Structures are given as C-alpha cells and as structure tokens.
Structure 1
Amino acid sequence: MRQKIVHVTEALGGGVLHCVALLANRQAAAGDQVVVLHSMRQDTPPTAKLDQLFDPRVHRQVVDMHTSIGAHDIVSVFRLLIALFRERPDIVHLHSSKAAALGRIAARFLGITAHTIYSPHGFAFLKEDISPLKAKLFLLIERMLHATGGHIVACSKSELRYARMLLLGAERTSLVENAVKLDGFDPGGHRQAGEAVVVCTSARVTYQKAPWRFTRLAQNIAGTSNAHFVWIGDGEADAIDRWIDRDAIQLTGWIPAGDLRRRLLQSDIFVLPSLWEGMPIALIEAQAAGLPAVASRIVGNRDVIVHGVTGFLANDDEQLEHYTRQLIDDAELRQRMGAAATAHARARFGDTQFFRSYVGAYRRLLTPVPGRRLPAVTHTLSHEALK
C-alpha cells in the first residue's frame, strides 16, 4: 500500500534527525511519497548536510517553529495548516513535543487527527532543565492534546510506560523502538591488549548529556589507570569551555557518520551519563559496535542496556566511576559484555524491524477495525514484558 506521508518536526537534530531520516528514506525507497516539514534550529545541520542525509526523493520544506512557547506559535500553526492542506497526506507523523503540539492543533482543524501519529523522542515534561511548574504545564498540555485524538508511538518501553501512566491509559499508544543501520558495524576489529583502554562517549556537548560528569570521571580515573577518554562530538564554545577539561579528555569535534563508527570500533568502553533521554541512538550504535556501556539509570538508557550483561546502569556518580573502573581493569569482562551488546543490538535495533513496524502502525491507522483498539506493541516486546 503506497501512501503520502508527511513528517513534521521542530527538532531536526541529534536523535530526532537520525530517526526521521532513517524512516523517511526507507519509506521513499519503498515507493511512498514522503515530505518532511521542519524548522532550522541551532543543532540542525546546514542544508547541504541535510541533502546528504536524506534520499533525494524525500521533499523537505522549512516551516518556522520555535522551541519556546509564545505568540509565534499561532503563526506556526497557521503555516502548518497551509502546508498540510496543500499536501493532503494519508499519514501525518509528528516528531518531538513542540511539533506534536502545533501539528495536532493543525490536524484537529483539518479533521485528520485519526491519521496522525506522534513520536515524542523524549517527553518534554521529563526534562531536568525546567522547573517543576513548567514540567506540570507540559504534562497538562500533553494530556489535553492527546484527548483531541491521534496515536502516540513511544520509542522505548519506559517512554511507553510514561505515556500510559500519565496520559490516562493505553488507549492510542504503542511502541516502536529506535533503530540504527547495522551495516558498517564489525566489532571484530578491536584493538590489541596492552594498549590504553579508550573510554568514549558520543554526543553534542549540552546540559542534557551532563558533560561535567564525564569530565569528572576522566579526571578521577585518567591519572590512576591505563585509560584514555574521548568525547566524540562538538558543541557551543561556551559549553565546551565550561564543562570539558581538554587536559583529561580528547574532543574530536563533529565527524561524519562513517568516521564516528570507526571511532567507536577503535574504543573499548562507552559511557553515557545523561540526565534524560528518549532512547539514545548513540548508545544503540555503541552497543552495535560491541562496546560494553556504563550509563545513567534513566528512561531510554535502561531500555537499551541489559544491566550486568551488555553493560551497567549507574544510579549516581560513584557507581558510574565504579563500573567504569571495573571494565577498565577487566579485559575479559569487556570482551564478554561487548559480544553480548552486539548480539543484543542486532536482535532488537535493526532498521528493517523499525521500518516494518511503522508500516504496520500506519496500515492500522488507515484501515481501522470498528470496535478494536490498536495493538499496544508493534514489535519486540509483549504486553507482559511491560509489567
């Protein structure tokens, strides 16, 4: 069944960009007509880079949307109304909380909420850089907009739990886990014993990723063990100056996807001490590359790592350092967990599963069965596994 799909996102950067491009490209290759309506944020790559990331059959259009709440949102809704009216999509797929808010209002005016999907990629009310009052406001907005219609597709088991617990039940919620293209990951080429153990992370230097925690870890460990710390990524100059100790950490700056995979394959341990996540693509890539991981025990991270099998989940900085030291000091443990991480990633997080799951989700929206709820889970996890 070929269809016209319009993706809408205000946050075309990081993990959201990865998922939108992965899905849109697969859809275009399958013969669907695909449009991406997006804004240009600080973390959005330039147009030339976006042209490289997206299949040329995917049509992109810039629609001005802002992260902050304000009167400008009225203009954004009007622009989305016009764009969606012109495109006349079979499916509207909204990505990130702000685009979902604006898009669901526009879809409501057009009478197409029944064919609207929302992928949060991390609910805004779970962010740690906002006040409790603002978090309650975001949650209230989510509840109000969900009541108007549409279907939420969570990217992780934990995100699905929050959707069901806080948005009043399982009605119109399901799960499709994030994914990566697994080709290019060959963990058989790890470095030889005796070399310095490379501890890396992969992210933009932002508050969400808690770079000061990675810096503190490097400062505490680097001088007492045979370890080298690498931050794969870039960030704003003031954020780097504030949170990254270049004497303790090598900062690579932005590198292409192919180089990123090579750097992961040249590393030994992956650390992700972030404060909140949806379901981090960087962590999935690291697991696919055969890296045992140490990550903060939060939504998203705990859905990728099998604690004690593919890596460790840390409750605090003390545990983060303890588990990282344990992996640095035990090459056999690194090898065993790395092999388990690769097998786990290949079984759960491939792009073919990702694409097929969304094909099923879209089909159910286009051909609803009277009196039947949409399935709670599209793949990988049974209802019992969510308990």
Structure 2
Amino acid sequence: MLYSTFTKLNLIILKVVHIVEALEGGVYTYFRDLSNFFGDDGISKNIETTIVYSSNRKGISSEKVNSEFSNGVNLIHLNMVREISPFEDLKSIFKLIKELKKINPDVIHLHSSKAGVLGRIAYFLLFKKKKVFYTPHGYAFLRTDISKSSRKLYSIIEKSFQRLFGGTIVACGDTEFEIAKKIGPSKLVRNGVDIPPIREYFLPHQNSKLTVGILGRITAARNPKLFNDIALKFPDFNFIWIGDGELSHLITSENIKITGWIMDKNIVFETLNSIDIYLQTSLWEGLPIALLEAMVLEKPVIATNIIGNKDIVLHNKTGFLFDNIDELENYFEILKENKTRADFGKKALKRCEDLFDTNQNFKQLFALYQESFSAEANKMQK
C-alpha cells in the first residue's frame, strides 16, 4: 500500500480541493492519475481529496469522469466556460464559493488559467485564509494562436492575480518553473505518467514502412499544418494521427491516417505502440503527457524545440528537437535504423522512470501540501 511510504512523516489529516476547467487531453490524464493516487485507501486516510471540474471540453462528460476516476476522491461537477464571459464567470464564482464553504478545505489547488482566475476570486470572497496553489499547465500568454494584444492581456492577468491574491505556483515542467519564479513564489512538481500500466502495451514490432505518429486532439496547439507539411515532405513514410479535432481539415496528405476518437484506452496504447517514431509538432505546451506515454513505450521522439517538449526530450539521446522542417531529413535518416530507434527508446523509458513517474511526483505534491499546512498550523499556534 502507498500508505507505508508515508508512515514516518507524522501526517496531519487535511482537506484538499482541486479546481479545474480545462479537463481534456493531458490534463484529463493528469487528473485521472491524481484521483487514483490520492484515492488510494492508504493516502485517503490522511488526506481528503475533492476535484471540482467542468465538463465543457470536447469528449468529456460526468459519466466518463465518474467511471474512470477513483471512488476514493469526491467529484463535484460545476459549469465553467473556457472563454472570458463576465456573466457565466460570475455564476461560476458564486457556485465555487458555495462549494468551498461546504467543504471548508485546508488547501485549494487551482489548475490552468481559467480556474486560476475564478478560483482565486472565489477564495478571496470566502474571507477565510487557506493555502492556495496554482498550476498553469502551460501559461496562456505563451499561446501563439492568439493575437499579441491577447497574449499581453493574459500576461497582465497572470501577474496581477498573483500579486493581488498570492499563493504558490506549482510548475509542471522545468521551463515553466523558470518563468513562474519571475511571477511569484514557485515550486517544481513535474507532470508524469503511471508507468507500469502503460508498459503492459509494449511489444516489439516491425513495420514495412517507417511509421510516424502523434497522439492528441487536432487543435492549433498541436499545429496540424506542420504535421501535414512534414508528411508531404516525406511521402515514403506512413503517418498516423491518433485522435481527431476541429482542425482535421488541415490534414490532407495521402500518407496520413486519422484514427478518429478512440474511447478505449487499450486501443489507444496498442496504436501508440505500433508506431516507430513519435512526432510532436506543438506550438506551445505545459509538459505534454502524450509524449511521455510514447517514451514509456520506448518511442524515440522528434519534437518542436519549445517549452515543455525541450524539458522532456534529450537531443540526440532520447530523440531530436527541431526549429525548422529542413532539419528533419537528417533526424529521420538517423532513426531509420532499428537498432538506433531501440537505443533511443530505452533511454527515453529510463528518463521517464527517473523524472516523470507520476506516483513519485504525486508524493512530492503530497509532501508539499503537508509541509505548507504544517507551517501554517505552527504559525497560528504562535
């Protein structure tokens, strides 16, 4: 049991509430794993975990969440919208206040930009001092699909809210941590994946053609146009996009297969295991979960040289980082060799085991909650 890991820590029972609006893709996987860790019998005896979430994102429903998240955590569905909407946002804030008053948590952990704004306003209006943590999962002001003025606005909001409401930023990746330290008090707890269940899908295989794939929603963040351009440049390779999305019309190259939405995770991991190289074409990231899942399945990675990707991929060891499509010819040539791919893949798995094991990283989060709560309790006693 996980409880045995913590028996020496003189634990204090506390209540933690997580608030998230952006429950999709990697964030969904993060929360599913978080629920399994903190919902474990041993852990839940010492920490009561509640997840307040919105199911407005594509492919997410309360039924899905209830069926895949641990019974050991409390789940509260609360409507939040992604875009800025004063009327809807105000309704969400009052609902959050109502739920927080009922729970009376010791710790509030906010995830992604929208929950970071709504949650901090709700916290302020509670008029009760709580420990507040905030994980951006990729700062909104780093997005490249929005105007420069919008990015500036998001940057002002992030810095202003940190200054006004305080709290500790919990960065999910090393570069995000470096940025966060310039905004406010910060800690690093990396994203990770649950390695043993994913390893069950690893099987060596041999494709007749080199097969290059990506897993995720087809959105601006994943840059489907670049993925398509790469497929056009390398017509002798097979390409596969595991997923679907609103920008699927940008995928036109005949050597690309789009699987569509796959609801069965067994099929998702079997398909991911069938590729030879994982290609991450993102324009921006927090710390991409799908990329980690591919590395656990010993896939060498070719990824855009951006925040998130460069925190995971070791250039010329576990894969390659690129700034320009012209660099790829050399990288694909190197990775054509089975032996080279296998060598890169083993190093990729080892890197995940060392740094991106979700159970080890959630232990850090657990300790962070305990440390901050104990410090606050000691301060109140003095």
TM-score (norm 2): 0.89
2:168 is the alignment partner of 1:161:
no
Between 56-65 and 198-207, the greater mean CA deviation after superposition: 56-65
User: For 2:168, which of 127, 133, 151 is the aligned residue?
Assistant: 151
State how far apart, in whole Å, the 1-side matches of 2:376 and 2:16 are. 21
User: For 1:228, which of 238, 254, 272 is the aligned residue?
Assistant: 238
Cα deviations across residues 289-320 of structure 1 (Å, max 9, x unaligned)?
Answer: 10000000001000010111000000122224
User: For 1:205, which of 218, 227, 235 is the aligned residue?
Assistant: 218
User: For 1:273, which of 253, 277, 281 is the aligned residue?
Assistant: 281
State how far apart, in whole Å, the 2-side matches of 1:365 and 1:250 are. 48
Query: 1:59–1:197: structure 2 CA closer, same or farther, 3 Å change rule?
Result: same
- Give the match for residue 249 of structure 1: 256
- Give the match for residue 376 of structure 1: none
CA RMSD in angstroms, aligned pairs only: 2.0
Name the SS of the counterpart of 1:49 in structure 2. Answer: helix
Amino acid at match of 1:153: V
User: For 1:9, which of 12, 20, 42 is the aligned residue?
Assistant: 20
Runs of 4+, deviation exceeding 4 Å: 369-372
Between 266-275 and 35-44, the greater mean CA deviation after superposition: 35-44
Q: Are the counterparts in 2 of residues 28 and 34 from structure 1 also a CA contact under 8 Å?
A: yes
State how far apart, in whole Å, the 2-side matches of 1:44 and 1:113 are. 36
State how far apart, in whole Å, the 1-side matches of 2:324 and 2:251 are. 19
Name the SS of the counterpart of 1:4 in structure 2. Answer: strand
2:359 is the alignment partner of 1:344:
no
Equivalent residue runs for 1:259-298 within 5 Å: 259-298=267-306
Could you list the runs of 5+ residues in structure 1 that have no partner in the other structure?
373-387
Q: Are the counterparts in 2 of residues 221 and 325 from structure 1 also a CA contact under 8 Å?
A: no
Q: Are the counterparts in 2 of residues 217 and 321 from structure 1 also a CA contact under 8 Å?
A: no
State how far apart, in whole Å, the 1-side matches of 2:37 and 2:81 are. 28
Task: Using the TM superposition, give the Cα deviation of residue 44 of structure 1 relative to its aligned residue in structure 2, in angstroms.
Answer: 4.6
Cα deviations across residues 231-288 of structure 1 (Å, max 9, x unaligned)?
Answer: 111213xx212x1126221111222222222222222100001100000000111111
Name the SS of the counterpart of 1:254 in structure 2. Answer: coil
Task: Using the TM superposition, give the Cα deviation of residue 60 of structure 1 relative to its aligned residue in structure 2, in angstroms.
Answer: 1.9
TM-score (norm 1): 0.88
Equivalent residue runs for 1:310-329 within 5 Å: 310-327=318-335, 329=336
- Give the match for residue 51 of structure 1: 66
Task: Using the TM superposition, give the Cα deviation of residue 122 of structure 1 relative to its aligned residue in structure 2, in angstroms.
Answer: 0.4
Query: 1:229–1:109: structure 2 CA closer, same or farther, 3 Å change rule?
Result: same
Amino acid at match of 2:160: M
Amino acid at match of 2:114: K
State how far apart, in whole Å, the 1-side matches of 2:79 and 2:70 are. 22
Amino acid at match of 2:205: R
Q: Are the counterparts in 2 of residues 203 and 282 from structure 1 also a CA contact under 8 Å?
A: yes
State how far apart, in whole Å, the 1-side matches of 2:86 and 2:185 are. 30
2:232 is the alignment partner of 1:219:
yes
- Give the match for residue 70 of structure 1: 85
- Give the match for residue 380 of structure 1: none
Amino acid at match of 1:35: T
- Give the match for residue 138 of structure 2: 122
Amino acid at match of 1:273: T
State how far apart, in whole Å, the 1-side matches of 2:377 and 2:24 are. 38
Task: Using the TM superposition, give the Cα deviation of residue 113 of structure 1 relative to its aligned residue in structure 2, in angstroms.
Answer: 5.6
Q: Are the counterparts in 1 of residues 108 and 130 from structure 2 also a CA contact under 8 Å?
A: no
Name the SS of the counterpart of 1:117 in structure 2. Answer: strand
Amino acid at match of 1:365: S
Q: What is the percentage of aligned positions where both structures have the same residue?
A: 33
Task: Using the TM superposition, give the Cα deviation of residue 321 of structure 1 relative to its aligned residue in structure 2, in angstroms.
Answer: 4.6
Name the SS of the counterpart of 1:222 in structure 2. Answer: coil
Q: Are the counterparts in 1 of residues 284 and 306 from structure 2 also a CA contact under 8 Å?
A: yes
Q: Are the counterparts in 2 of residues 39 and 63 from structure 1 also a CA contact under 8 Å?
A: yes
Amino acid at match of 2:121: I
State how far apart, in whole Å, the 2-side matches of 1:275 and 1:325 are. 24
Q: Are the counterparts in 2 of residues 127 and 276 from structure 1 also a CA contact under 8 Å?
A: yes
Task: Using the TM superposition, give the Cα deviation of residue 57 of structure 1 relative to its aligned residue in structure 2, in angstroms.
Answer: 2.9
Could you list the runs of 5+ residues in structure 2 that have no partner in the other structure?
1-11
Q: Are the counterparts in 2 of residues 287 and 341 from structure 1 also a CA contact under 8 Å?
A: yes
Cα deviations across residues 197-255 of structure 1 (Å, max 9, x unaligned)?
Answer: 221110111111001111111122123xxx2211111213xx212x1126221111222
Name the SS of the counterpart of 1:368 in structure 2. Answer: helix
